[in-house]
Amino acid sequence: MPTVLVPLAEGFEEIEAFAPVDLLRRAGVEVTTAALADGIHVTGRSGITAHADTPLAAVLERDYDLIFLPGGAGVKHLRADPRVRELVLKQHAAGRWLAAICAAPVVLFDCGLLTARRYTAHFSVAGELPDILADERIVTDDKITTSRGAGTAIDFGLHLAGLLTDPAKSADISKAICF
């Protein structure tokens, strides 16, 4: 069973986190949500408090097939946390999948991973991302997948499910949710 880690920081965008998490779990993927803070409760940008599976500190030594970074105002906390940078760089060095949506591709950019790659992100961070493909909903380049924002979250989740399992399984889920 493929595994995914989703770090959740205060101010994360709920749709961007939970739509892909839901779709990945429907595909049979083991998804672990991890709060950046010491506890397991994290409040998103719309005031919805999530009950994460674990604090990030408890899973730092574990390997995952994919690390997925949701966007929103919480990206500033992802960028500032050296553990997130270390996880992203370790994941990349191991040749495993990374995914980021909305503003979160700036974390990958900060790690030097978007140079000479195709990627997209939310227009709010376009000034920081010199080669953004602003009109693309989802872009996969090697083992890095990026997406634009909340409005692309279902497409993004189905895409990730197809990458980690089987495109046919993703298509079945799409049909089942009437997408």
Which residues does the annotation mark as catalytic? Answer: 102
CA distance 76 to 90: 20
Q: Is the C-alpha dihedral spanning 80, 82, 83, 88 positive or negative? A: positive
Is there a contact between 125 and 106 (Cβ–Cβ < 8 Å)? yes
Helices of type H across 8-166? 14-26, 75-80, 82-93, 105-110, 153-164
Dihedral pair phi/psi, residue 6, rounded to 5°: -125, 100
Given the DSSP bridges, would you call strands 49-51 and 41-43 parallel, antiparallel or unpaired? antiparallel
Query: Which amino acid is present at 141?
Result: D
Report helix angle 153-164 to 14-26, nearest 10.
30
